Amino acid sequence: MKRYPLIGIDAFNNHARISADVVAFTGHNEYFRITCPAMGELTLITPKGSYPLKRHTQLNIFQGTCDGVKVHVSLKKIVGELRYWPKGE
């Protein structure tokens, strides 16, 4: 399993200082971005495409499969964590 920290960003692509300013999350040198288009769903955007992540019914995570790779996203107020399992693990 690989882990990457996420940082909340505001509408001006700056690091958010309060949770009300967060419009998206970014991580790993801004290689990927996580947006919140609808309640209960996130979108993971990478250079290879965008992938919807659904909210788990019991756990406080979002999960999905991105090009065959299992992904979990856990969000706090202005930080979070992306976990993924590379193919073959």
Measured from the Cβ of residue 16, the count of other Cβ atoms closer than 10 Å reads: 20
pLDDT attached to residue 38: 67
Report field, pTM of the whole predicted structure over 0.85? no
* Whole-number Å distance between alpha carbons of 26 and 5: 9
Judged against a pLDDT cut of 70, whether residue 88 lies above it is answered with: no
Of 28-37, 54-63, 65-74, minimum mean pLDDT range: 28-37
Model confidence over 76-87: pLDDT tens digits?
A: 888 999 998 887
Model confidence over 3-23: pLDDT tens digits?
A: 999 999 988 988 888 888 888
pLDDT attached to residue 5: 93
